[in-house]
C-alpha cells in the first residue's frame, strides 16, 4: 500500500510540474497553445513520475539484497 501511495503522489507531483512548465512555454505563443502545452506537460510529467518511482523501488530492492548477501558473507568468515 505504501509503494502504491508513493507512486500516485510522485506521479501527481511530476504531472503538476510538467503542466506548469508546458503551460508556461505554450503561453508564449497564445492561450490555446498554453492549454495544449499544459496538457502535454502533464502527460509527460506523470510518465516521468511513474518511471522514477519504479526505478527508485528497484534500486531499494537491489540495496536490500546486497545488504542481505553481505550479512550472509560475513557469517561465513
For 26-31, what is the mean pLDDT? 93
Cβ 22 vs Cβ 41: under 8 Å: yes
- Give the predicted TM-score (pTM) of the model: 0.66
Cβ contacts of 52 within 8 Å, gap of 6 or more: 10, 14
Is residue 77's pLDDT more than 60? no
Continuous segment of H or E residues that includes residue 53: helix 31-76
Rg, the chain, Cα only: 20
Q: What is the mean pLDDT of the chain?
A: 84
- Domain assignments of the chain as residue spans, ordered by start: 2-76
Amino acid at each position: 500500500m505504501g509503494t502504491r501511495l508513493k507512486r500516485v503522489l510522485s506521479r501527481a507531483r511530476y504531472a503538476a510540474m510538467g503542466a506548469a512548465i508546458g503551460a508556461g512555454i505554450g503561453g508564449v505563443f497564445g492561450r490555446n497553445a498554453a492549454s495544449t502545452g499544459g496538457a502535454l506537460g502533464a502527460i509527460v510529467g506523470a510518465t516521468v513520475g511513474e518511471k522514477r518511482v519504479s526505478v527508485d523501488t528497484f534500486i531499494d530492492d537491489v540495496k536490500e539484497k546486497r545488504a542481505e548477501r553481505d550479512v550472509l558473507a560475513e557469517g561465513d568468515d
